[in-house]
Structure 1
C-alpha cells in the first residue's frame, strides 16, 4: 500500500500547479499581469501580440483585451504573487527534506538548520536563532521551528516588499503623482511631472489601501452572484437532463409506432412490386408465345415453299410477309421501375414511398419539343415530379412543363433552346429519382444550324479542332506550339505543352484528330512530323521524317482517323499528296500528286472520312473537295471557285458527321458550307468579321453526334460552337 503524501508534499504539489504558464505549459518566465488578472510569461504575450493582425493583446483564456503600455509587453505590471509562489516553492522543497538543511545565515554552512525566520526567509541554526532573539537588529522577526513551519504552511513565507523601478529612468519609484495617479521616481518630478502634486508612497498607501479594500465590496457581491448563478446552472443542467430523458422516451415510443407502420407499408409496397413484376412477366410470357407462333409459321412456310419448289408446286407467301409486324419482336416491358421515397414522413405512413416508371428519350432527337413520361404504379402517392434540362455545353437550364395525365402518370415536356448533349434531372419531393440525371441528345436540324451557343476565347492562332468520346474539345494552337484540351463547357483542363524540335515536341501544330481509343494525333508542319499521344499526354508513336519519299512529310496540315479501317490519313500540303498510315503509324501507302486533274492536288489542307470509309480531301487552290476510296482510288468531286451556294473559295477545313453530311470551312468566303456526301449543297453560315458567327479564316471543323459544329476561328483567336 502506497504511503500517503505528507502535508509538505501536498502543499508543494499545489504550488507547482500554479506556477505553469497556460500558453507554453512551462514554469513562468518574467510573469506579467493582464487587466483581467490572468498571468502569462512575457515571451508568450509577445508572441500573441506579434501574431495578432492589429497588434492587440487578448487574454488567451477569457479573450479580454489589455491595453499595451508604450514600452510594450515588458511595461506590463510584474506578477509579484507568482514570484512569491516561487519563493514558497523553494522553501517547501527545503522543508520537505529537513535532514539535509544547513544554516543559511551564518558562515558555518555545516551547522544543521533547526528554525526558520519568516522575515529573512532563511533557515537558521540554533546559534543564529539565539542571535535573532538577543540582537535589536532582528527585533520583530518571527522565528519558528521547522516542525512548526510544517504545521503552518499558509504563513510559510512573507511576501517580499519590492520597489518597482521607473521604466524611463531605471530608478526606484518612491513617489506617487496624485494628478496622474502614477508611481514616479525622483527624476520624473523634474521632467514629466514638473509642478504636479506628489507625495511619498508610504504616506498615501494607507488611504489608497482603504479605498482599494472598499472597492472590493462590489467584487465580493459579484462573486456571490456568480456562486449563486453556478448553483442555478447546475440545477438547470439537471432539469434539462431529466427533460431530455423524458423526451427521448417519448421519441422512442413514437418511432416504435412509426417503425411498425413503416414495416406495414414496406409489406404493402413489396406486395405491390411483386404484383407488378408478375404482371410484367405474364405480359412477356404472352409476347413470347406470339413470337414462338410467328417463328413456327415462318419455319413451316420456308419448309413448305422450298419443298413445293422442289416438287414444282410453289405457294404464295406474300400474305404471310405482309402481315409480319417487326414491333412484335421488341420487348413490351422494361426495367424502368424505380422506388421514390417520400421527402418527409407524414402522419399517415401508408402514403410513405411509391413505385414509379420513367420513360426518357435516350437517343438523338430531331424535333425541338421532346416528351418524357413519368408514371407512379400506385396513385396513392402521386406527388408531381419536378424536371429541368441542362445543356452540357452551355450549362443553360431549360425548365420543363409537367402535366398530370391521371392515374399517377405525368408527362414531362421540354423544348431545348440549344442542341447537343444534355441531361434531364427529375426530382420528386426534392430527391432525384433513380437514374437521374438522364442523358438526352438534342439534335439540331440542319436548316436551323448557325447560332453561336458558346465561344472559347484567348487562343493563340487555333488551327485543327477535334472531339474525344468524353466530349472534350481538343485545339491545336499554332503560335503557342501546344495542343489544349477543354471541357465540353469550355473550361481549360490540360495541355500537350511540348514546344520544341526534339522527338515528341511541336513547333507548329496544325491538324488534330482522335482515334477509337481516345489517343490524340497531331500533325506538326514546323517539324514535318506526325505525333500520337495518349489522352493524358504521353507520347505513343511518331513519324519524324522530312522529304518527298514514302512516309516523309513536307509541311503536313491535316489528319483524320478512318473509323472503318482504323488507318490514319495525313494531308501533306507541301508535297500535294495524302499519306496513309496503319494505326501504329507504320507507313501503308500514299496517293495524289501536284496538278488540277482528277486525283491531283494543289495544296491539300485537310482530310476527313465518312461512315463507309470514303476519304474527303479539301483541295485548297483547286477550290474543290475530292472523294476517294479508303485505298486512295478517285471517286468523285464537288465544288468550284466562287461565292455562291455550292461554290467554294480556298477550302481549308473539312469534317463529315455521323449522317455523312460534309462541313467545309472556306478561307476565301469566311464561311462554313454544308453538303451531302454526294456534293449536294444544303446551307452555309458565317461571313467575314470578328462578331459572333463571323470568321477570319475558319481553319478547323469538328461536328458531334448531335450536329453541334465546332469551328476554330484562326484570325480571331477563338473557337466558336454552333447549334
Structure 2
C-alpha cells in the first residue's frame, strides 16, 4: 500500500487504503477507519455482555461452591463430633454393663462358693469326728488290756455305728458346679451406624411406608409414621430435617401443624401429634430436608371436639337393627 490505511472494508473485514478502493475492493462496502471502529466497537461491546454475564454467573457459582464447601466441612466435623459423642456414650454404657455383669458374676460365684464352704465345713467336722473315733478305737486296741477292750466293745461299736450312720458321704459331694458362662450378645457392636447422605435425588425416591397406632388423647391425636428408602430399608433422619402436616380433605387447604418426636426403642419410627379440628380423611404431607415426599392419607375416625353428644331426637319405632350412616359434617 502506497497510501495510509485510512479505510475499512466491511465486505472483506480488513483495513484498506485509497488505491485499494479503486482496485481490489471496487464496489465493496467501506467506511473510514474511525467510523467503522465506532460501529464495530458497539458490536463487540454488545457481544461482550453475555461474556460478562457468564463471568458474573461463574463468580456466584464459585462463591456458592466455596460456601457449600464450608458447610460440608463443618457438617463433616459435626458428624465426627457426633461419632465421638456416640462412642463415648456407648463406652459409658459398656462400662455400666461391665459393672453390672461383674456384680452378677460375683453374686453367682459367691453363692456357689458359700454352698461349697458350708459343705466343706460339714465334711471337715464329720472327718474330725470320725478321726476322733478312729483314734480312740485304735488307741484302745493298742494300749488297752483284753478285759478293757471287751468291756468297752459295745460302747465303741455303738459309737462307731452312730457316727458312721449320721454321716452321708454322698451328700457331701460338691453340689455346685463351675457351670456358669458369659452369654455374649455383641452383634450390634459390629455395626453401630451408617453415614447417610440425604441428596435430593435419593430423597425423591423415598416414600411414607406406614402410618398406624392412631391414638386419640383428649382433643389431640397421635399416630406413628415410618419412611422407606429406595433400597427398602427404613429411612432414619434427624428430627430437625423432618416436617409433617395434615390437611383435611374437602374442608379447606389450611394445614394442621404437628409435633414430631421419636424414641430410642424404634429407630426410624416417628410419633406425630396434632390437634385436628374435625374427623375424616386427611392428607399427610411429609417433608425431609427440602424434599416433599409423595402425599399419603390418614383417616381420623373420631371428632375430638364432640366431647358430649346430646341426642336431638330419639327414634322409638325401630324394632330391629338398622344401619346408621354419619356424614363428614356429623349428620345422620
> TM-score, with normalisation over the residues of structure 2?
0.30
Higher strand share: 1
Structure showing the higher helix proportion among its residues: 2
